[in-house]
Amino acid sequence: MSVTRIATRYAKSLIELAVEQDKLAQVSADVQSLARAATNRDLQLMLKSPIISADRKNAALTALFSSNMDGLTMAYLNLLVNKGREGYLLEIAAEFVAQYKTLQKITSVKVISAAPLSEEVLNDLKARLLKSGITNSNLEIQSSIDPDLVGGFVLEFDNKRYDASVANKLAELKSEFTKNLYIKEY
């Protein structure tokens, strides 16, 4: 079975359980914490190790996370370990977050700019996106910086990309000049 299929199925089952038990917000926070923790190389190696028994993995996960996480999340982690799917924790967590955002109608927008954007500019951008109707009413904006853009910004959301950067405009101009449509041949 492919990793994507495994992640989709396990994430969907956790979301369904969390909704059923009215713990979706807590489980979502737990999964996001798990995703951050699972980027630790030592934890990844432990989870993917065939030498370490399931009992020891469960004990380690319980020691690490039981004080901060809901019982449902901990039971789910134990299930993953017992089924031998603990090595896919990062993929399952990423799929859970994607399904959670779909369920809650949250649109994630990534804004890449040449310089840091002020809160005022981000709020204006959010208002314009909401007014346009191309996003859900719940917006999550992530901002990053790429000095190579020279100026302007790039928006990415829902597998779409809107490039309003100076670097893009310069590339378009360069392309037009290389075509040189205005040469007169005699």
pLDDT of 186 strictly over 70: no
Residue 74 and residue 66 in contact, taking contact as beta carbons nearer than 8 Å: yes
Last residue of a domain, one of 70, 102, 134: 102
- Do both 33 and 89 map to the same domain? yes
d(CA 135, CA 118): 21
Residue 115 backbone phi and psi in degrees, to 5: -135, 160
Give the residue from 102, 135, 167 where a domain finishes: 102
pLDDT in tens, 129-145: 888 888 888 888 889 99
Task: Tell me, rounded to whole angstroms, the distance of Cα 169 from its chain centroid.
Answer: 29
Instruction: Tell which wins on pLDDT, 100 or 152.
Output: 100
Domain boundary among 84, 102, 120: 102
Least confidently predicted of 12-21, 105-114, 147-156, 174-183: 174-183
pTM for this structure?
A: 0.74
Rounded to a whole number of angstroms, the CA Rg of the chain reads: 23
